Amino acid sequence: MFTNFDGQYIDVGEAEIHLQKGGDGPPLLLLHGYPQTHVTWHKIAPQLAEKYTVVAPDLRGYGDSIGPDDPETADYANRVMAEDMVTVMEALGYDEYLLAGHDRGARVGYRFAFDHPERIRKLAVLDIVPTLETAEAMDYAYAKAMYHWLFLAQPHPIPERLISHEPTFYVDHLIENWAEHPEELDDEAVAEYHRCFEQESVVRASCEDYRAGLSIDLDHDRASREAGERIECPVLALWGAGSGTVSFDPLDVWERWATDVTGQGLSCGHFLPEEAPERTLEELRGFLL
């Protein structure tokens, strides 16, 4: 699904990261979300590669990337996954780059910007606010809409065993519930998400990711906030205005965490690069210049 891209694996120590790389120009790192892989970018990565060198990896444990054999929650902290990408980009010869992340990849992305500000020129975050803000805003209505945060964070092996019983059913359930236009997700892409979630290691990795989200990642966010840290590079925040789960203005939230924020909601659900690729591409092109 990535014409004129080259696939490769890079050993980062505790993990082996699979990625697709293509194009020519300033380096642009694209990080996917849950329950997806790098394939989530397939509708816009070729166009971005006309002006940028696009690097689209699978996060550790997701897709065809390999995570630790017997993982602990600490192995899936956003800080750790950001370190993976530092190593990946260094291996490819890049010390400074642009970054766009969707969902879990955007969470890795903003932690990346806190921990390695010298490396990120610009940051685009798609359909998230900082993890600590999400946790603190989780009243009963929000928890019902975002139940997967609480379900996936339950101790191993409870969610793993339930999901692995019918993994494709669960992926389809998430797409149907989070997309305003689920028919816009390409059948070939969805089949790839199915293939990956049929691997028990991927299910385990994704659950550890969410366990970290409601524990270690909150500690890191809290420490950044208490220290008065702010993301100094320009930030573009885009979100799905049709998802129905956002009861606040994401720009107001991001302005508490970053000094230079722009953005808007798009007419779609959660899966911006697949439901609204033209508008997502337009916004990214304008911002990344």
Distance from chain centroid for Cα 157? 23
Place of tokens 């600490």: 74
Tokens of 259: 């000094």
**Catalytically annotated residue among 32, 38, 102, 270:** 270
Owner of token pair 């379900």: 151
- With DSSP H G I counted as helix, E B as strand and the rest as coil, what are the percentages for the chain, rounded to 5? 45, 20, 35
Q: Which two tokens stand for residue 223?
A: 């420490």
Residue 11 annotated among the catalytic residues of the structure:
no
**Tokens in use for 262?**
């722009």
Question: For this structure, is 270 an active site residue?
Answer: yes
Going by their DSSP bridges, the two strands 16-23 and 53-57 should be labelled as: antiparallel
Name the active-site residue from 103, 127, 209, 217: 103
DSSP-assigned letter for residue 16: E
Catalytic residues, by residue number, are 103, 270
